[in-house]
Structure 1
Amino acid sequence: MPTDNPLTTLYKEVDGSKISTDVYLPPSDASSPQKYPVVIDIHGGAFMLGHSRMVSIPQVNDCLDRGWIVLVPNHRLCPGVNLLDGPMRDIRDLLAWIHDGHLEQFLKDHGPYQADLENVAAFGTSSGGHLALSLGFNVPIPAKAIFSLYGTVNFSNPLWSKPIPHVAAKLPKDLSLEFLNKIYDEFPIPTDSSVSLEGQTESGVSKGPDFSKARDAFAFTQIAGGMVTSAIYPQSQSIDTKFDLVDPARNVTANFPPTYIVHGQADTMVPIDLSRDFLATLKEAGVRCGMTEVPGEEHTFAAMMEVGSKTWWLQREGFDFLEEIIGRGPKKGRFSS
């Protein structure tokens, strides 16, 4: 299946928001249906930006070569809805949609494919890494394995309230609060934005945010000021309990799914120490886990890495980890050993 033209289907509709997922199918020459592991790939964007076409297509291709069905979902974007009731709820509903047989029904019209419901995994970048991790707790059937690329965790860490000067330097000086607050007038709650934190745009051309748009201006203002957590999850509880329902680091038990982390050592937006601490939490709970640190890489490197580069092969260790747990599909691809 060409990755520039995936299948698409609605998996949820709520309050006027129609929420879709792209579906990428691996090559198959089978004459009868065969079972394929399913992997959910979640885009980044600080929970406020991006959409399903803003993921790394080389990563999708790698998954297809392993014989996996790949779902790349949209979700409602904060701040018109909060993190728990919006992005997390939507991605968890997608997992339920898969297990309730809706993906299987969809696949019947598109070739000899069956979803292997015993082997459903998830991965994502940045906020998408967090949403993948959210499929490991407080869900009826957790993901079988999770791969987080520089995912957002440990929300009570003081690092989350640190301003980021190099992002602030890009902001126009004349952004008014009245203009920024126009984001709250958006209805229905949007599931896509024209630019992502990773730099991709709808046209595929890499460029910066459009600060004439309230969403871009709002999101980057929050990022620059160290205010992301209060923008996406403005609960008023004590900091000691505020993040209990949304922070993967507060929900790790011995039953948490096997988890792999990849993080750039030069990340200035989600510092690598957050992932190191999360890895320690996983190990302490006895969860099967691992982590690869990528030298010299900033945040969002997955969108810009070159296939075959050192970074490419290092981040690929996360997919190898998933494969150890969910296996391959019936047909091996060009990356097969």
Structure 2
Amino acid sequence: MNRTVHIYNPLQPPVELDLVASAPLEPTSPRPTFIFFHGGGLLSGSRRGRFPPLPVKLLLDRGWAVVVPDYRLLPEACIVDILDDLRQLEAWLVQSAVGVDMYRVVVGGSSAGSLVSILALSVWKTVKPRAFLSLWGMAQTEGEWYRRRRAESAVLGGIPASQLHEENVAHYLQPGRPHISADEADMKDPGSRASLFLWLLKQGQIGPLISDSVRAAIGTEAPLDLISSSYPPTVIVHGTADTVAPVTDSRALAAALQRVEVRVRLIEVDGADHGLAPQEKYRISFEEAIMAVEEFTGIHLPHPDRLI
């Protein structure tokens, strides 16, 4: 796997991305490109964490290039900052990306990365993705799921709620902390930013935190209000037993797209939790998703591992 690192938003510290392909990219033979936003509830995660998930690997194996950006994280940043990152990313793609076919782009992400994709599709002016791939995405952060308190007996993303304690994560909520755009801590670490997300979910506070920031940035706390007929055909994968972002989020996204007559394929994976782990168990569903992306975009590379 060939990976190059690039600064796309020259802040201090800078916001970076990885450009990944199965072999070095050449400007004379640009490849179809998947822009993949990582998950983490907008509070944690990074472009390197658990990369590549199986559907991204399937595209890499088919000869696609993959752009994996970091973006500034809440609560130190806000949605306005993420929107600025997305505009800077678009400028980098147009002006600086080498070996990327700007006419054959797909955008998507996992969990909160799907929400970031919705924001990107709403602010990009030049980059026009030909499909949107949403993996177990968060889409209704203003809804009741993200605002209700969980019992101590609940299990969130495989972590018992009884193990999530305010004293381990409260320092992340102190004002004045400098922004960060990457975090690779283990969710099982009780003091990690990932545990902060789960603790906020347990308390019913993650919804207000995200929704208030979304409303301040775009005038509505409902991300699905951004869906329009200009959105590209969309493929959605979600487990029906998701304990972090409910499958109803993806059903609502599919319904919103159908209302504006955008083609959509919703693939529900029976009994799967957040992240569909272990992903090899669900390979058939991921392969179905990639075939749907190829169908919607008309991009059919000759066979896996062959470069174009």
- Would you call these one fold, judging by a TM-score over 0.5? yes
Contact 2:141 2:210 in 1 (8 A): no
Choose from 253, 262, 265 the match for 2:240: 265
Choose from 165, 168, 184 the match for 1:172: 165
Distance 1:259 1:227, change over 3 A: same
The equivalent residue for 1:110 is none
The equivalent residue for 1:181 is 173
Misfit runs of 4+, over 6 Å:
none
Q: CA deviation at 1:323?
A: 2.1
The equivalent residue for 1:193 is 183
The equivalent residue for 2:96 is 102
Distance 1:236 1:294, change over 3 A: closer
The equivalent residue for 1:327 is 299
The equivalent residue for 2:258 is 283
Distance 1:33 1:145, change over 3 A: same
Quick one: distance in 2 between partners of 1:61 and 1:36? 15
Structure 1 length as normaliser, TM-score?
0.78
Q: CA deviation at 1:268?
A: 1.8
Contact 2:37 2:69 in 1 (8 A): yes
The equivalent residue for 1:12 is 9
**Residues 152-163 of structure 1 aligned to structure 2 (within 5 Å):** 152-163=138-149
Q: CA deviation at 1:186?
A: 2.8
SS at match of 1:301: coil
Quick one: distance in 2 between partners of 1:312 and 1:88? 33
The equivalent residue for 1:126 is 111
Contact 2:40 2:194 in 1 (8 A): no
Distance 1:253 1:232, change over 3 A: closer
Quick one: distance in 1 between partners of 2:288 and 2:169? 44
**Residues 177-256 of structure 1 aligned to structure 2 (within 5 Å):** 177=170, 179-182=171-174, 184-187=175-178, 189-195=179-185, 201=186, 208-211=188-191, 215-216=193-194, 218-235=196-213, 242-243=220-221, 247=223, 249-256=224-231
Q: CA deviation at 1:37?
A: 0.9
Aligned residues: 295
Q: CA deviation at 1:54?
A: 1.2
SS at match of 1:17: coil
Please tell me the residue identity of whatever aligns with 2:163.
Answer: K
Q: Deviations over 1:21-53 (max 9, x none)?
A: 1111234798x8212111111111000001111
Please tell me the residue identity of whatever aligns with 2:5.
Answer: T
The equivalent residue for 1:295 is 270
Please tell me the residue identity of whatever aligns with 1:102.
Answer: S
Q: CA deviation at 1:89?
A: 3.1
The equivalent residue for 1:198 is none
Contact 2:163 2:190 in 1 (8 A): no
Q: Deviations over 1:78-122 (max 9, x none)?
A: 011112x133432343133212x2113xxxxxxxxx321111111
Quick one: distance in 2 between partners of 1:242 and 1:300? 28
Q: Deviations over 1:259-300 (max 9, x none)?
A: 111100111221111211221111111001111000111012
Distance 1:335 1:317, change over 3 A: farther
User: Percent identity among equivalent residues?
Assistant: 23
Q: CA deviation at 1:229?
A: 2.7
Contact 2:63 2:305 in 1 (8 A): no
Quick one: distance in 2 between partners of 1:181 and 1:29? 41
Quick one: distance in 1 between partners of 2:102 and 2:298? 10
Quick one: distance in 1 between partners of 2:176 and 2:48? 25
Contact 1:257 1:287 in 2 (8 A): yes
Contact 1:125 1:150 in 2 (8 A): yes
Contact 1:133 1:148 in 2 (8 A): no
Quick one: distance in 2 between partners of 1:48 and 1:8? 22
Aligned-pair RMSD on alpha carbons? Answer: 2.8
SS at match of 1:61: helix
1:60 matches 2:38: no
Contact 2:142 2:208 in 1 (8 A): no
Contact 2:147 2:201 in 1 (8 A): no
Quick one: distance in 2 between partners of 1:280 and 1:298? 22
Contact 1:235 1:242 in 2 (8 A): no
Unaligned runs of 5+ in 1: 105-113, 196-200, 202-206
Contact 1:37 1:326 in 2 (8 A): no
Choose from 44, 65, 73 the match for 1:49: 44
Quick one: distance in 1 between partners of 2:57 and 2:194? 29
